[in-house]
Each structure stands twice: as C-alpha cells, then as structure tokens.
Amino acid sequence: MPNPYAADRVRRPRAAATPPPRRRARPQRRLPAEVLSDDEVQRLLGALSQRSPTGVRNRALIALMYRAGLRVSEALSLYPKDLDLANGAVRVLRGKGGRSRVVGLDPGGAAMVAAWLAVRAAEGLGGDAPVFCSLVGNPLTTAYVRRRLPSLGRRAGIEKRVHAHGLRHTHAAQLRVEGVDIGIISKQLGHTSIATTVRYLDHIAPVAVIEAVRARGWTAK
C-alpha cells in the first residue's frame, strides 16, 4: 500500500531569493564652467619650473590649451609636423568626431611651445614621438594632465576649479570679450555649427547680459 505521506518527504527546491531592488545611479552633477583670468593663468604657469624639462613641457602644454583653445586630447595627439609656429598655425588631425581643422596660435603661446621643442630635441626626441611626451618619448595621458592641473592650481593659490577644459573655456571667453567674430571663434573651437558656439559662449561668458545690467545706473542713498 503506498504511503500517503511519501510526497511530504520529497525535498522541494527552494524558491530563488528575490534580489534586492537596484538603486538608481545618481546622475553626475555637472559643475559649472569656471573661466580663469589671465593673471590666474600666469600664476598657474609660475607654479612650474622654467629650468626642468618637465616644467618647460607642462608650461608649453598649458600655454597651447589656453592660447589655442585645444581640448586636452587634441593637444596630446599633436606631432611636431602638425606645428607651424612661424606662421602661428596648429593642425589638429584628431578633433572631436574625427574632424580635422587648423587653429591659430599667438606669438606668445608659440614661443612657449618652441621652448619645449628645443628642450625636447636636446633630449634626443624626434618626430616619431608626440609633441607632449615623457623624456623617453612615451605619450602623456589625459589622466596625467587632469591630475596635474588641480595640484598646480592649489600651489598657485587659485581658488577656482582648475582643469584642462577650463583653459578652453577661458580662451573662448577672452575671444568673445575681444570682439572676435563668432564664426572665427566657432572654427577655432572646432564646433560643427555657429549655433553650438553661441550656446557654448552664452554658458561660459554671457557678455550681452553682463553689459546690459552693468549699464544700469543706481546709487545707494
């Protein structure tokens, strides 16, 4: 006779544990753009040695991003053949979206890059190494630059956030204040359209808003 309780002795598989609900990742807070003054950039440069090879190199890199408005990835992708310092031209072959362009560089910025090229040549580095490389020819990384700039900013006593893209912001803001045509600024920055440049500039340097409010007269009584 079959045992009526036999089924109760069969080990049933345990129900799978219900996984805890996933926490939604918090969206990264985008910090507002901070534009440096020329004095602050000068202090940043002053925090670097003009005698050590790496100091000369890093001064040239900062000068190039500040005076030509390059993204850090664009600056680190340059090779000596891309520089025409005598004519103030820099050829960017690996821009955002794979687009290439030629940007301008003023004589002051070009002189600082030339100083590094001279040191670089003395170290025996040739055209097969990127412009901004280690003393044995290895490429610099964006991570290195992003770590280095904040520490330099603290050393220089700059209270603003100091980062690579901030130098690009500063370049664009200064061009706008100087009255450079919006089309030229757009080409210099490598934007796909002037509308992008207008939004970019309105975000970092709302000149029209500031001038309109400054023009109002008011005296406290």
- Catalytic residue list contains 168: yes
Report the candidate in 55, 49, 63, 98 with the shortest Cα–Cα distance to residue 77. Answer: 98
- Catalytic residue list contains 66: no
- List the beta bridge partners of residue 40: none
Q: What are phi and psi of 86, to 5 degrees?
A: -60, -35
- Sign of the C-alpha dihedral computed for residues 101, 102, 108 and 114 taken in this order: positive
Selected catalytic residue, list 57, 71, 148, 169 = 71
- Catalytic residue list contains 5: no
Selected catalytic residue, list 96, 101, 161, 187 = 96
Instruction: Please check whether residue 178 is in contact with residue 77, taking contact to mean a CB–CB distance below 8 angstroms.
Output: no
DSSP structure string for 153-216: HHHTT--S---HHHHHHHHHHHHHHTT--HHHHHHHHT-S-HHHHHHHHHHH--HHHHHHHHTS
- Catalytic residue list contains 160: no
- Catalytic residue list contains 163: no
* Residue 18: Cβ within 10 Å count: 6
Selected catalytic residue, list 57, 148, 168, 171 = 168
DSSP structure string for 117-160: HHHHHHTT--TTS-SSB-TTSPBP-HHHHHHHHHHHHHHTT--S
Q: Which residue has the tokens 């900062």?
A: 62
- Catalytic residue list contains 120: no
Catalytic residues: 71, 96, 165, 168, 191, 200
